[in-house]
Structure 1
Amino acid sequence: MVSIRSASLAGTEIGAAPDAVRRLLLDVVGCGLLMPGVESLTAEGDDVYHYVLATISNGAVSHTPDHRTRFDTGDPARIRWEPVGTHNFRSWGEFRTTPGTGPGTTYLEIDTRSEADVDIAPVVLPLVEPFARQQSDEVTEGFLAAIKGRLESGARAAA
């Protein structure tokens, strides 16, 4: 068993006010289901959420991430998460929001890192980690796009 590590950082400006962005981010289940690959997401209480993600496979590795995460929402400009318990996948990160470049806009950044425990020979790890980094970037960018789309379509509907 080895741990495949990846990290991703991406941001985008959203045509929605900071309070609307934070409201969506605080709806952990509703927002979390916008993330590509999330098959189920349930609240377990005490700010802990159970994620089951779609199986990831590249021919050499097949992995179905299953993990629990605790959210910290105490800082209005940052929502942080960290793993809870022992699982085959762990994720740490945060959403960061700052005022956008124009009125009624917000800059949202997602900064995340993860570890996936997989049953492969350690010699294969250097071949697999680039795939994991690419997957992480694609998920983060897809998540940002989905959040932006949800908020901007809601802002247009309210106008």
Structure 2
Amino acid sequence: MVAIRSASTRGTEVRAAPDAVRRLLLDVVTCGLLMPGVESLIDEGDGIYHYRLATLSNGAVSHTPDHRTRFDTGDPGRITWEPVGSHNFRSWGEFRTTSGTSSGSTYLEIDTRSEADVDVAAVVLPLVEPFARQQSDQVTEGFLAAIKQRVEEG
């Protein structure tokens, strides 16, 4: 078993006031279900959420992420999360929101890193991690696009 690590930071301008963007981000279940690959997301209480994601496969590795995450929403301009317990996937990160470049807009950034425990030989890790980074970037970009679309459409 090895830990495959990836990270991604992406941002976008949203044509909506910061309060509208933050309202969606603070609704962790509604927002989380917009993330590509999330099959289920359950609020377990006390800021803890259980995610089950679709199986990822590149032909050599197949992995079905299942994890619990604690969110800290104390600062709505900087919503953070971290793993809780021992699972086959761990994610740390934050949403950051600031005033956008035009009146009534918001700049939204997602900064995330993750580790997936996968049953492969350590020798293949250098071949698998680039795929994980690419997947992480694609998920982050898709998530930002879905959040932007949801907020801008109302």
> Does the aligned pair in 1 maintain the 2:2–2:121 contact within 8 Å?
yes
Name the structure 1 match of 2:137: 137
4+ runs of 1 displaced by more than 4 Å? Answer: none
Name the structure 1 match of 2:123: 123
Alignment of 1:140-151 (within 5 A): 140-151=140-151
* Secondary structure at the counterpart of residue 74 of structure 1: coil
Structure 2: where are the runs of 5+ without partners? none
Residue 103 of structure 1: CA displacement? 1.1
Name the structure 1 match of 2:76: 76
Q: Does 1:33 align with 2:20?
A: no
Alignment of 1:81-120 (within 5 A): 81-120=81-120
> Does the aligned pair in 1 maintain the 2:94–2:111 contact within 8 Å?
yes
**Alignment RMSD:** 0.4
Q: Percent identity?
A: 84
2:27 partner amino acid:
D
Name the structure 1 match of 2:61: 61
2:50 partner amino acid:
H
**How high is the TM-score relative to the length of structure 1?**
0.96
Q: How many residues align?
A: 154
Aligned partners of 1:128, 1:21: CA distance in 2, in Å? Answer: 35
Structure 1: where are the runs of 5+ without partners? 155-159
* Secondary structure at the counterpart of residue 25 of structure 1: helix
Residue 107 of structure 1: CA displacement? 0.1
